[in-house]
């Protein structure tokens, strides 16, 4: 057997791939659901916290900054383990799916809040004053004048950050969530052939490559025209 044939047999064994394709497909569907939930929850939470900071209530702002810095500093895997293994000690039990969703949503919320806040404060103060002088309330100024500009500025970094964090769904394998990597590892343990990992890598490529392309398009679409 040549080196090429040995490589193909080990990492691209079509027989093994065909046998475990349905298992990887199930993990693919679950990973899609998990990624969508993380993105929706994380972005909504980040925007809500950024808007809350505009009220300039000092104790609330200090608390938001503390929580945001905490979840930006902690590795996602540590948060997942704490939620899944530590919370049962205080009577709160969650599934592996919920633990991964909640953990990565909190991480994305923290980063999204900082990105949204940076977009809000980048809007010139004169636009706030001009809008208020026309009779708009604070909420109307924020919703109709400031946020549209802020969101436009934050689309590229938000897209990149959301993509980076949702790829951490692979950490679900640690808490027995049957996502792509977990299913690939299960196939490896049964077949003793790493071709299932190759199949899992292809599944991740199919899932996240469109997000990368979408992110690049959004960066171009929402970039300020010079």
* CB-count exposure of residue 136 (10 Å: 0-12, 13-18, 19+): middle
Distances (CA, A) of 163 to 12, 36, 108: 27, 11, 10
Q: Give the tokens for residue 25.
A: 């497909």
pLDDT in tens, the chain (226 residues): 688 888 888 888 889 999 999 999 999 999 999 999 999 999 999 999 999 999 989 999 999 999 999 999 999 999 999 999 988 888 888 999 999 999 999 999 999 999 999 999 988 888 888 888 888 888 888 888 889 888 888 888 888 889 889 989 999 988 989 999 999 999 999 988 999 999 999 999 999 888 888 878 877 776 654 4
Q: Distance of CA 187 to CAs 29, 100, 175, Å? A: 17, 22, 17
Joined tokens for residue 76: 């996602």
Q: Extract the tokens encoding 14.
A: 């079509």
When the candidates are 1.10.3470.10, 3.10.20.30, 3.90.1150.10, 1.10.3720.10, the CATH number that belongs to 21-221 is 1.10.3720.10
Dist. CA 53–CA 98, nearest whole Å: 28
């Amino acid at each position: 057997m040549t080196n090429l044939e040995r490589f193909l047999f080990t990492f691209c064994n079509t027989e093994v791939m065909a046998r475990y394709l349905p298992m990887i497909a199930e993990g693919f569907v679950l990973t899609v659901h998990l990624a969508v939930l993380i993105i929706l929850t994380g972005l909504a939470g980040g925007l809500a916290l950024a808007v809350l900071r505009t009220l300039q209530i000092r104790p609330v702002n200090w608390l938001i900054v503390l929580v945001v810095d905490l979840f930006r500093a902690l590795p996602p895997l540590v948060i997942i383990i704490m939620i899944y293994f530590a919370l049962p000690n205080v009577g709160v039990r969650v599934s592996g799916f919920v633990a991964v969703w909640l953990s990565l949503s909190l991480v994305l919320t923290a980063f999204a809040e900082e990105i949204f806040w940076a977009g809000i404060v980048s809007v010139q103060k004169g636009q706030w004053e001009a809008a208020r002088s026309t009779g708009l309330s604070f909420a109307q100024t924020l919703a109709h004048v400031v946020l549209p500009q802020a969101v436009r500025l934050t689309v590229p970094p938000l897209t990149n950050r959301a993509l980076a964090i949702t790829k951490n769904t692979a950490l679900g394998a640690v808490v027995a969530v049957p996502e792509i990597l977990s299913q690939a590892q299960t196939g490896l343990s049964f077949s003793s052939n790493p071709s299932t990992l190759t199949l899992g890598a292809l599944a991740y490529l199919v899932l996240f490559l469109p997000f990368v392309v979408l992110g690049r398009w959004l960066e171009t679409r929402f970039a300020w025209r010079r």
